[in-house]
């Protein structure tokens, strides 16, 4: 497993680049709330994805949920950006696997029009990819899944806060690696430039997690791989040592 500074993960044994939580259309939601931000997220995501494909030479991309942000019918911005993403991926001649997230209402129709498919879960080589917004037992087809050694989820947008020498807290996106029951658990970072992240150091104290899967884990024992697009990726001590 190779964690990339653009907030993706390359699984060499499967020749698979995994990303999660693009959240296209988030700018429109913020603007509706009176928060005006430039509509620039898609361009940044495409640059990051191009850089990851160039660095890994991956032949396949898996998007582990929440391509779009609106829960309901796609906003015009979302529709245009999803189509732009599909055109970009086709131009790179990569096979793309879309895993359904809780924000991905109506995404299936967009993908069907492009002769692509949206799945609730994806398994390969002992890995299970799901978005992570529900218990595993609540997923369609749960009883037909093969045994797996590694569970990969998104949804959480994990981040850690680190204080500098004068006490100022800085928040960084991260990947988390730990245990889910007897399996390895990997929590993917959000690719969205506007999703600053859910601080797992704070939430471990408060026992608040956005994923029911995380609620069944010892989050304090998870290892964060802190991501900075300029500096790179750094493995940090366990979450409980960062509180």
CA–CA–CA angle 87, 190, 72 (5° rounding): 65
* Across 1-14, average pLDDT: 97
Q: What's the pLDDT at 161?
A: 87
Instruction: Specify whether the CB–CB gap between 97 and 62 falls below 8 A.
Output: yes
- Give pLDDT tens digits for 35-55: 666 666 889 999 999 999 999
Query: Region 14-22: what's the mean pLDDT?
Result: 96
Tens digit of each residue's pLDDT (9 = 90 or more) over 86-120: 999 999 999 999 999 876 666 777 787 777 888 99
Greater confidence, 1 or 110?
Answer: 1
Q: Where are the alpha helices (DSSP H) in the chain?
A: 26-32, 41-56, 76-91, 107-113, 200-206
CB-CB contact of 89 with 61 (8 Å)? yes
Distance of CA 192 to the CA centre of its chain: 9
Please give the average per-residue pLDDT across 153-174, as a whole number: 88
DSSP lists the bridge partners of residue 24 as: 68
pLDDT in tens, 196-232: 788 998 765 555 668 999 999 999 999 999 998 888 9
DSSP conformation letters of 80-116: HHHHHHHHHHHHTT-EEEEE--TT-TTHHHHHHHTT-
Provide the residue range defining the domain that includes 67.
Answer: 2-241
List beta partners, residue 151.
128, 185
Instruction: Give the pLDDT of residue 71.
Output: 46
pLDDT band at 135 (very low <50, low <70, confident <90, very high): very high
- Check residue 72 and give its pLDDT: 54
CATH number at residue 125: 3.60.21
**Total number of domains in the chain:** 1
pLDDT bracket for residue 188 (50, 70, 90): very high
């Amino acid at each position: 497993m190779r964690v990339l500074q653009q907030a993706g993960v390359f699984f060499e044994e499967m020749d698979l680049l995994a990303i999660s939580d693009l959240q296209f259309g988030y700018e429109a939601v913020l603007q509706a709330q009176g928060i005006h931000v430039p509509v620039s997220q898609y361009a940044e995501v495409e640059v990051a994805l191009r850089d990851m494909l160039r660095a890994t030479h991956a032949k396949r991309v898996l998007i582990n949920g929440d391509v779009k942000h609106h829960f309901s019918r796609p906003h015009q911005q979302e529709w245009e950006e999803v189509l732009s993403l599909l055109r970009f991926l086709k131009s790179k001649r990569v096979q793309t696997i879309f895993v359904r997230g809780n924000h991905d209402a109506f995404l299936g129709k967009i993908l069907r029009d492009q002769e692509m498919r949206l799945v609730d879960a994806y398994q390969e080589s002992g890995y299970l990819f799901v978005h992570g917004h529900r218990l595993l037992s609540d997923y369609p087809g749960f009883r037909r899944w093969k045994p797996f050694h590694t569970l990969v989820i998104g949804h959480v947008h994990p981040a850690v806060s680190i204080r500098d020498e004068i006490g100022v807290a800085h928040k960084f996106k991260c990947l988390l690696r730990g245990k889910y029951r007897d399996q390895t658990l990997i929590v993917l970072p959000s690719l969205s430039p506007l999703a600053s992240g859910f601080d797992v150091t704070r939430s471990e104290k408060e026992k608040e997690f956005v994923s029911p899967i995380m609620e069944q884990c010892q989050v304090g024992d998870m290892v964060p791989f802190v991501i900075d697009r300029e500096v790179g990726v750094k493995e940090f001590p366990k979450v409980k040592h960062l509180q």
